[in-house]
Chains A and B, each alone.
Chain A
Amino acid sequence: MEIILTVLASILFSTGIYNLLQKQLLRIIVGTVLISHGAHLFLLTMSQVKRGAPPLLVDDVSSYTDPLPQALILTAIVISFGVTSFLLVLAYRTYTLNKTDNMEEMRGSDYD
């Protein structure tokens, strides 16, 4: 199963990067979202999946899933959520100011 999950994570990376290489701001944000999904999945897969009960202490259970990667992913999800929302508002502001969402048209000029 881990192989399938790794392939899935790779697909998320590929599609994320393909979107990241596009011109439109919305696509780029979608790309970052996909890449962070891929990274979270990657983290989960790299710990061994399905090796025991959920990480909640219950009597008579001796084998649990690794709790550490879950904690790491939880932190990562929140951070990427913060960044994504920031990016979204940034895209919104950029568009209202520059009247374009095309990255190729957004280049710094010498005087600003």
Chain B
Amino acid sequence: MIFAIFAPLLLAFIIPLLSKWKHKVHTGWLILPIPFAVFLYFLQYVGADFQPQMVSVDWIPSLDIALSFHLDGLSLLFALLISGIGTLVVLYSIYYLDHKEQLGHFYTYLYIFMTAMLGVVLSDNVFGLYAFWEFTSISSFLLIGYWHHRERSRYGALKSMLITVFGGFSLLAGIILLSIVTGTTSIQGMVEQSDVIVNSEYFPFILIFLLLGAFTKSAQFPFHIWLPDAMEAPTPVSAYLHSATMVKAGIYLMARFSPILAGEPYVFIALSLFGLVTLTWGSYMAVRQTDLKGILAYSTISQLGMIMAMLGFGTKVGLFAAVFHILNHATFKGSLFMIAGIVDHETGSRDIRKLGGLFTFMPISATLAIFGTFSMAGVPLPFLNGFYSKEMFFQASLDNTASGAFAETLVTIIPVLAVVGSIFTFIYSMYLFFNTFTGKSQVEELPKHPHEAPKMMLVPPFILVLGVLIIGLFPTIFNESLITHAADAVYGGEANKEIYFWHGLIPAFYMSIAVVVIGAIMYLTKSKWSRIYQVLPGRLSMNRVYDWMVEKSETASQRITNTYMTGSLRQYMVLLLTAITVIVAGVLVKTNGINFDMAETASITTTEVIVTLLIAVAAIATIFARNRIAIILIVGVVGYGLAILFVLYRAPDLALTQLIVETVTVTLFMLCFYHLPNLKKDTSSWFTKSTNVIISVAFGLLMMVVGISAYNSRSFDTIAQYFIDNTYKLGGGDNMVNVILVDFRGIDTLFEVAVLFGAALAIIGMIKLRRNKGAN
């Protein structure tokens, strides 16, 4: 099983090597067998006596992360859809994409996606699931942006990336919480502990995070906006990712966790409400589209909403219908996308206003489209699978019970929303078929003269339509071998359910009839009421919200950065010093670090006080100095004063060094001042001036408090005694400072010499080197 999952990925690595033959054979032919082999591999499990199985390989054992794959009914259904439709899509793409396209890129992305999607539906380890989940987002991003020279493709790819990765992070948060609560990273292990999860205090967060992940991936309202823009991808990609597989990953997630979540009142409310709103809004918006793929995109959104709502019902009928509709939707929607691609390919246009009357030119495509669209509409005919699941959906929408005021209201409006959504579904299905294939043909407006597609291009949609018919005619075959197992896995028990065409005269049947009748009337009178779209949505659109958010986050972050990254050194210093002062003062106060104990201080003598005063006055005078010579001399006074202090405090070496360094520094200042302009009066505003004063005084006060407190809170004696004792014994000298500098701590001195050396080199460099000839 592991090999089957990773086979497409391994193949993706060797696709570039196949480019040698790409001029003779279309790359697609060379790699077509792999998804088909994967399909056959999974097909062997199909049967009435299927038993779930598990394979596991260690990945990061210390974190309890493994590549473990659990194949049960639900996973099997999805794996078959992924590999089966994958095969058909590759076959279709061979005729859809020209030799001149970058086929290597296309198939590499597609096969990465295939492995990722198989990994999502088969993973038992939640972190493995998350890894594959993000792989689907990335490969979807690459595929949407396949024609990256088009601006709309890049926009659509970025949008889907931002939205689905946002959901991916939510999912990650959700699974981290889940694994913390349950102590396991296995989904099966979590299902066993569903009581623990539901009763945990984190349950609301887990639920919100999981829902965000599922809603963004499965394009539920209000996160549906990325899907219509993802239609910029090549049509095989739209057919594969954005109708049959990836957009069902969120559905899969909810179905996978259904044994844990189903029956919880909030799950019921959230899933049913958002699912039905998505169903209604998606089908309502689909009628308005003029692009074939736009209609199909909104139709996908709407159908996904329907499945999500059925998962939310959580009843036996609802869950069974959800699983059944996953299969049905994949068949008819895949075929419809392929036919839309054929129409685009053979006429050069997807604009439904330009199309019409294509039945005479493309009879086979049109016939295939009949089955697809009518199945999508849920027309009650015994050979259309869409009708069966729609009927079950109506039935499931009627028998919900829930307590609580909001939930009870919801229960009463569920059937209404379901019927309204289905009416619009019927309208756009008819609109899609009749406006494309019947009516007056406008051949002269089309870029190409329409004609029937190559026979092989029609094979994939034909096989899918065949699927529609077989499921429609013989539902029991699929039911017993596949759907029942999947429904059991979702329900977490026996969800056995028979599929009948004729249930008798039950309310669900009347709802179906009502949908067809009202839908047909509304379709025929569409031109009369279509002005309503100018009122609703009018200018209301989630796209505007998205664009606004993207634009605002850019301008806002730019504005925030511009407020503090001003380029002014002074402002950076102000920020730094304020931060230091506030933090240090805060810590001092918080830890009661201030300590004014004067016991251990030395005596005060007049000489010292005079020198101290001298230095203080000189330091303050630097601020008021207006003359560059004056300021240099004043700084010299400070330095020489310091040297005197060193003498008074018995540091002869320091005094010496200080005197020499001060002299050299003053000389240097003198050398430079000649070239520098004279000091100017401080012309800055009183606000700047007072800020400067406040900050410098505050910092000085802080250092004073820190110094005095530190002086009075000595924890240990100094290590001075060691140096005093060993200077002669170990160092062989009697000047302790010098022995420390060159003997005990010689490395300090080595690098201090290096600093001087570096400074000297840099100074020489600055003076000698002139790259800019214009400067002197």
- Chain B residues positioned under 8 Å from A73 (CB to CB): 651, 654
Contact status B645-A41, CB under 8 Å: yes
A61-112: which have CB < 8 Å to B?
64-68, 70-71, 73-75, 77-79, 81-86, 88-93, 95-97, 101, 103-104, 107-108
Give Cα A65–Cα B653 distance, bound, in whole angstroms. 13
- Chain B residues positioned under 8 Å from A86 (CB to CB): 759, 762-763
Q: Which of A7, A12, A75 contacts B741 (CB 8 A)?
A: A75
B648-679: which have CB < 8 Å to A?
649-654, 657-658, 661, 664-665, 668-669, 671-673, 675-677, 679
Contact status A12-B615, CB under 8 Å: yes
Chain B nearest Cβ from A90, distance in angstroms: 7
Contact status B598-A3, CB under 8 Å: yes
Chain A nearest Cβ from B363, distance in angstroms: 63
- Chain A residues positioned under 8 Å from B642 (CB to CB): 37, 40-41
Give Cα A86–Cα B645 distance, bound, in whole angstroms. 27
- Chain B residues positioned under 8 Å from A22 (CB to CB): 570, 682, 692
Chain A nearest Cβ from B608, distance in angstroms: 6
Give Cα A51–Cα B692 distance, bound, in whole angstroms. 38
- Chain A residues positioned under 8 Å from B628 (CB to CB): 26
Contact status A6-B707, CB under 8 Å: yes
Give Cα A11–Cα B772 distance, bound, in whole angstroms. 42
Contact status B676-A33, CB under 8 Å: no
Chain B nearest Cβ from A4, distance in angstroms: 6
Q: Given A10-B701, A71-B737, does the pair A101, B677 have CB atoms closer than 8 Å?
A: yes
Q: Which of B569, B615, B651, B696 contacts A65 (CB 8 A)?
A: B651
Q: Given A9-B703, A18-B693, does the pair A74, B737 have CB atoms closer than 8 Å?
A: yes
Contact with B along A1-24 (1 / 0, CB 8 A): 111111111111111111111111
- Chain B residues positioned under 8 Å from A78 (CB to CB): 657, 661, 752, 755-756
B731-750: which have CB < 8 Å to A?
734-737, 740-741, 745, 748-749
Chain B nearest Cβ from A19, distance in angstroms: 6
Q: Does B718 have its Cβ within 8 Å of any Cβ on chain A? A: yes
Give Cα A23–Cα B620 distance, bound, in whole angstroms. 18
Chain A nearest Cβ from B652, distance in angstroms: 6
Chain A nearest Cβ from B606, distance in angstroms: 12
Contact status A95-B775, CB under 8 Å: no
- Chain B residues positioned under 8 Å from A71 (CB to CB): 737, 740-741, 745, 748
Contact status A13-B703, CB under 8 Å: yes
Chain B residue with the shortest CB-CB distance to A78:
B752
Give Cα A55–Cα B735 distance, bound, in whole angstroms. 6
B698-746: which have CB < 8 Å to A?
699-701, 703-704, 707-708, 710-711, 718-720, 723-724, 727-728, 734-737, 740-741, 745
Chain A residue with the shortest CB-CB distance to B661:
A81
Give Cα A57–Cα B735 distance, bound, in whole angstroms. 6
Q: Does B506 have its Cβ within 8 Å of any Cβ on chain A? A: no
- Chain A residues positioned under 8 Å from B680 (CB to CB): 24
- Chain B residues positioned under 8 Å from A55 (CB to CB): 650-651, 723-724, 735-737
Chain A nearest Cβ from B573, distance in angstroms: 6
- Chain B residues positioned under 8 Å from A21 (CB to CB): 570, 573-574, 692, 695-696
Most chain B beta-carbon neighbours within 10 Å: one of A47, A48, A70, A104: A70
Q: Does B631 have its Cβ within 8 Å of any Cβ on chain A? A: yes
Contact status B654-A57, CB under 8 Å: no
- Chain B residues positioned under 8 Å from A70 (CB to CB): 651, 653-654, 737
Q: Which of B567, B602, B758 contacts A50 (CB 8 A)?
A: B602
Q: Does B595 have its Cβ within 8 Å of any Cβ on chain A? A: no
Chain A residue with the shortest CB-CB distance to B674:
A92
Q: Which of B573, B619, B677, B704 contacts A95 (CB 8 A)?
A: B677
Chain A residue with the shortest CB-CB distance to B683:
A23
Q: Which of B567, B699, B756 contacts A14 (CB 8 A)?
A: B699
Q: Given A7-B704, A11-B616, does the pair A88, B737 have CB atoms closer than 8 Å?
A: no
Q: Does B609 have its Cβ within 8 Å of any Cβ on chain A? A: yes
Q: Which of B570, B635, B748 contacts A33 (CB 8 A)?
A: B635
Q: Which of A23, A34, A49, A53 contacts B638 (CB 8 A)?
A: A34
Q: Does B405 have its Cβ within 8 Å of any Cβ on chain A? A: no
- Chain B residues positioned under 8 Å from A13 (CB to CB): 696, 699-700, 703
Give Cα A108–Cα B569 distance, bound, in whole angstroms. 11
Chain B nearest Cβ from A27, distance in angstroms: 7
- Chain A residues positioned under 8 Å from B615 (CB to CB): 8, 12
Q: Which of A34, A46, A96 contacts B675 (CB 8 A)?
A: A96
Give Cα A24–Cα B672 distance, bound, in whole angstroms. 14
- Chain A residues positioned under 8 Å from B728 (CB to CB): 57
Contact status A104-B568, CB under 8 Å: yes
Q: Which of B675, B718, B720, B759 contacts A83 (CB 8 A)?
A: B759
- Chain A residues positioned under 8 Å from B638 (CB to CB): 12, 33-34, 37
Chain A nearest Cβ from B731, distance in angstroms: 10
- Chain B residues positioned under 8 Å from A93 (CB to CB): 766-767
Give Cα A26–Cα B650 distance, bound, in whole angstroms. 33
Give Cα A24–Cα B652 distance, bound, in whole angstroms. 36
Contact status B573-A34, CB under 8 Å: no
Q: Given A6-B708, A42-B703, A85-B668, does the pair A67, B602 have CB atoms closer than 8 Å?
A: no
Q: Given A56-B735, A81-B661, does the pair A15, B696 have CB atoms closer than 8 Å?
A: yes
Most chain B beta-carbon neighbours within 10 Å: one of A40, A81, A88: A81
Q: Does B441 have its Cβ within 8 Å of any Cβ on chain A? A: no
Q: Does B601 have its Cβ within 8 Å of any Cβ on chain A? A: yes
Chain B residue with the shortest CB-CB distance to A79:
B755
Q: Which of B684, B707, B752 contacts A45 (CB 8 A)?
A: B707
Q: Given A9-B707, A86-B762, A88-B672, does the pair A33, B652 have CB atoms closer than 8 Å?
A: no
Chain B residue with the shortest CB-CB distance to A21:
B692
Contact with A along B599-611 (1 / 0, CB 8 A): 0111111001100
Q: Given A17-B700, A46-B710, A74-B654, does the pair A25, B567 have CB atoms closer than 8 Å?
A: no
Q: Does B577 have its Cβ within 8 Å of any Cβ on chain A? A: yes
- Chain B residues positioned under 8 Å from A37 (CB to CB): 638-639, 642
Q: Does B646 have its Cβ within 8 Å of any Cβ on chain A? A: yes
Chain A residue with the shortest CB-CB distance to B645:
A41
Give Cα A90–Cα B697 distance, bound, in whole angstroms. 29
Q: Does B776 have its Cβ within 8 Å of any Cβ on chain A? A: yes
Most chain A beta-carbon neighbours within 10 Å: one of B605, B651, B776: B651
Chain B nearest Cβ from A32, distance in angstroms: 11
Q: Given A21-B692, A64-B736, A96-B776, does the pair A108, B752 have CB atoms closer than 8 Å?
A: no
Give Cα A60–Cα B596 distance, bound, in whole angstroms. 36
- Chain A residues positioned under 8 Å from B619 (CB to CB): 11-12, 15-16, 34
Chain B nearest Cβ from A51, distance in angstroms: 8
- Chain A residues positioned under 8 Å from B645 (CB to CB): 5, 41, 44
Q: Does B622 have its Cβ within 8 Å of any Cβ on chain A? A: yes
Chain A nearest Cβ from B145, distance in angstroms: 29
Give Cα A59–Cα B639 distance, bound, in whole angstroms. 33
Q: Does B612 have its Cβ within 8 Å of any Cβ on chain A? A: yes
Contact status A17-B711, CB under 8 Å: no
Q: Which of A10, A25, A83 contacts B703 (CB 8 A)?
A: A10
Chain A nearest Cβ from B769, distance in angstroms: 10
- Chain A residues positioned under 8 Å from B17 (CB to CB): none
Contact status B736-A67, CB under 8 Å: yes
Contact status A49-B676, CB under 8 Å: no
Contact status B740-A46, CB under 8 Å: no
Given contacts A79-B755, A107-B568, 5 further A-B contacts (CB under 8 A): A13-B703, A26-B676, A68-B718, A71-B740, A78-B661
Contact surface of A with B, Cβ cutoff 8 Å: 1-27, 30, 33-34, 37-38, 40-42, 44-58, 64-68, 70-71, 73-75, 77-79, 81-86, 88-93, 95-97, 101, 103-104, 107-108
Closest A-B pairs by Cβ, 8 of them:
A14-B700, A57-B734, A82-B759, A67-B736, A55-B736, A10-B704, A18-B696, A6-B707
21 A-B pairs in the complex with CB atoms less than 8 angstroms apart: A2-B601, A8-B612, A15-B622, A17-B699, A21-B692, A24-B679, A26-B679, A34-B622, A34-B635, A44-B651, A46-B710, A55-B651, A57-B728, A68-B719, A68-B720, A78-B755, A82-B759, A93-B766, A95-B677, A96-B675, A97-B772
